[in-house]
Structure formats: C-alpha cells, structure tokens
Amino acid sequence: MNQAIAIAPDQLSYFVRAEIYRAQGNLPKAVEDYTRAHRLDPNTPEFLQRRADMYEQLGKTDEANADREAAQHVLSGENELTEARQFLQYLQSNGVKLKIARNKRDLEPSGTRIKPETLDKIKRLKPQLLQILAGE
C-alpha cells in the first residue's frame, strides 16, 4: 500500500491504508491518513466519520464532535443538491426553463405560468441550482 501511495497518492489509497492502520490498532496513523483522504476529497463524509471514530477512541471528544458535525454538513449539502436536481427535472417536465442570469448570481425562470410556491423553492435552492446549471 505504501508503494501505491508513493506512485499515485489518492484519497482511496489513503483511506484503505487508514483502514489497515485502524485494524492494526495504530489509531494516530489512521487519523493521519483519514485526514489526507479528506484533504483530497472533502466531499466524502465517510472520511470524516471514520476519523471521528478514531478521535473518540483516542479520547479527543471535541475533535470527534467537530468531524461528525462536518460530516453531517457534507451530507446535508448532498441532500440539497439531490433535491435541486429533482426540482429542476420537475420544472423542465412542467414547461419551466431556468437559466443563469448575466450577472451569474441570479436565476431567470421562463416558460409557463410560475406559481409563487415554485418561486419560493427556486429562491431556497438557488445556490444548488446555480451549481447544477453552471456545470451543464
């Protein structure tokens, strides 16, 4: 595993090595590699959750709680992106088009008559919708 990391360090390699260290009881080394994996891919909550478990076993409750909170934040962001994708599909299937405004900070809905509750949801999901539309 060390040779694989030396050749091509990536988050999965660090995660696997962290799991090996954890199984061997080398918790400080596991924490180091979970940290490396998280730095390479901050959007994977599992790295934070596993590191929180290691911190807990090491008696570092504050660090464990911070990691669990951060993991929950990542998960909630994923849920909001999923909701935004589904909402965008719903809008499109109902004849509503959504595009990014020229100022790149706002959204411009067009198409069929848009209900006030739809506009409210567009406002609530604006950051996620902008992210999705910018990636198209």
Q: Can you give the pLDDT at residue 112?
A: 79
Burial 4-15 (b: 16+ CB within 10 A, else e): eeeeeeebebbb
DSSP state, residue 103: T
- Contact (CB, 8 A) for 59 and 33: no
Distance CA 49, CA 69 (A): 9
**Every domain of the chain and the residues it spans:** 2-76, 78-134
Share the mean pLDDT of the chain: 90
The pLDDT tens digits for 125-135 are: 999 899 899 98
To which CATH superfamily is domain 2-76 assigned?
Tetratricopeptide repeat domain (1.25.40.10)
> Shortest CA distance to 24 belongs to which of 1, 48, 47?
1
Which of 33, 28, 5 is CA-nearest to residue 18? 33
The residue-averaged pLDDT of 64-71 equals 95
pLDDT in tens, 68-110: 999 998 888 778 888 999 999 999 998 889 999 999 999 999 8
Q: Could you tell me the pTM of the whole model?
A: 0.60
36 neighbors 5 (Cβ within 8 angstroms): no
12-20 average pLDDT score? 94
pLDDT at 43: 85
Cα distance between residue 84 and residue 86, in whole Å: 5
